[in-house]
Copies of this chain bind each other. A is one copy, B any other.
Amino acid sequence: MPSLKWPSPFPNGGSEKAMIVSLNEKANPAAVKRELVARGLWIASELRDGNGAVRQFSISPGSAAISVSDITSIEGVDVVTTSKSEHPLVDKQGPVVQVAGITFGGGNPVWMCGPCSVESEDQLKRAAERLASFGVPFLRGGAFKPRTSPYAFQGHGRVALGWLRKAADANGMRVVTEALSEGDVGTVSEHADMLQVGSRNMHNYALLKSIGATKKPVLLKRGMAATLEEWLLAGEYLLGAGAQAVVFCERGIRSFDDTTRNLLDLGAVAILSHVVHAPVIVDPSHGTGRRDLILPMGRAALAAGAAGLMIETHDNPGEAKSDGPQAIFLDQMGPLLKTLQNVGNSR
């Protein structure tokens, strides 16, 4: 008789870093092992005392989500110990959050669209009008740009924040934009509805504290080689410092294969969505670096459990000051979003 119900196999809890199942003196280790495996748990190792007797099982952290009391009830189990979650505030926040009146994690996918860099007031005006007409609630755009080279365009800075705000207000949209420097957090906070922490700054704890202190909601991109645990702990920094809400954003990680610009880790999205129960969206633009893969990978992200998508758009990608090749033409956004909305609805 299967112990996991279907089609909702995701009990809560389950993000333990470690779990040890200790046996009592009468236990039959092989029998306990069978029960653990049947519940979807990987035995990382059998632990033996100095006499070679199996005394404990160490459970692999990536194992299925089941409750500790389920395991304790197995015959032969003495005690089950686990590590305490290091991110209680993220756990407490749960999977559904409200940002400026928009619900993340409520079933309806949330779109965040706009140019990579804010380039001119006029550009933003045109973008916001079109995007609003497609029902996009969040206008994105970089006023401050983190660039690998000091000689690359670094963004128009503070003036661009005003353009963002104005274009959004004129079209009933919200603004999400990145703060790069602790010195700019105040100004960004005045103009944006949601502050973005970029991938390169996920481990920048001074910035996280500073952004959290604004009490605003935050979009937290995953660092390019951050483990899930590190990502969740960065969210804990934000919430601990006062952030109203944290939405996680997977945007691709570093890999040995450069066929795509980054490697979009949708397994991480599934874990956050279905096991950790945290709100998570996906950025397929950075995740693939290819305009022609945004549709299939956006669709896949929603299917894996993403609560929304961030997509870069440009009315003329050839003129884009950054990341043009991965920007969708504004003219393509309508049909693209319609297709993606259908995927969201059919989940």
Contact = CB atoms under 8 A, between A and B. Distances in A.
A160 B283 CA distance: 41
Interface string A66-93: 0011001000000111111010000000
| Identical chains bound together, number | 4
B274 A40 contact: no
Contact of A293 (B257, B270, B335): B270
A120 interface: no
- Chain A interface, >50% SS class: mixed
Interface residues of A, number: 132
A257 B228 contact: yes
Given A63-B325, A254-B256, A302-B303, A6 B336 contact: yes
A267 interface: yes
A203 B205 contact: no
A122 interface: no
Contact of A292 (B58, B254, B274): B274
Interface string A22-57: 100000000000111111111011111110100110
A96 interface: no
Residue from A65, A295, A305 with most neighbouring chain B CB atoms (10 Å): A295
Contacts of A300: 266, 270, 300-301, 303-304
A264 B265 CA distance: 7
B47 A82 contact: yes
Contacts of A133: none
A200 B204 contact: yes
